[in-house]
Amino acid sequence: MNYSKLVINLTALFFVVYGLLFTILPSELAELVTGSIPATASGLTDMRATYGGLSIAVGVLMLVLAKNEGTHRLGLTFVALTMLGMASSRTLGFVIDGPQNSVMVAYLVAELFAASWAIILLRRKR
């Protein structure tokens, strides 16, 4: 089994599905994830664009990188950097903003897990 391809594809799938859900149902997903809904049309539109569109684009790029074994190293690097970027910013939020809901904690665990998996596979590719 090609674990590099698996990690990149699973991460990509998450981003694409997450992005589609936020594009289609921003209010419902915002409530589920953060416990509140943006109060303005601009807030919802930005959520569709950022959580939706950007997440879809990240996922599609990961899918492209997973297709060719020659780009798996770059794909794993992208997964690791993306997940570590999200995890470090989320951790900063924990410190600055205080206690978080269980979804934020689950996201942090998942981000660290995905980043670790990608880094382990990158080290094996040396």
Q: Which domain holds residue 61?
A: 3-124
What contacts 4, CB < 8 A, 6 or more positions away? 69, 72, 73, 75, 76, 121, 125
Residue-by-residue DSSP string for 93-121: HHHHH----HHHHHHHHHHHHHHHHHHHH
Q: Domains in the chain: how many in total?
A: 1
pLDDT confidence band for 1 (50 / 70 / 90): confident
Give the tens place of pLDDT for each residue, 32-84.
999 999 999 999 999 999 999 999 999 999 999 999 999 999 999 999 999 99
CA-CA distance, 48 to 39, in Å (whole number)? 14
pTM above 0.85, yes or no: yes
Whether residue 4 is predicted with pLDDT greater than 80 in this model: the reply is: yes
Report the distance separating Cα 111 and Cα 65, nearest Å: 19
> Does the pLDDT of residue 93 top 90, yes or no?
yes
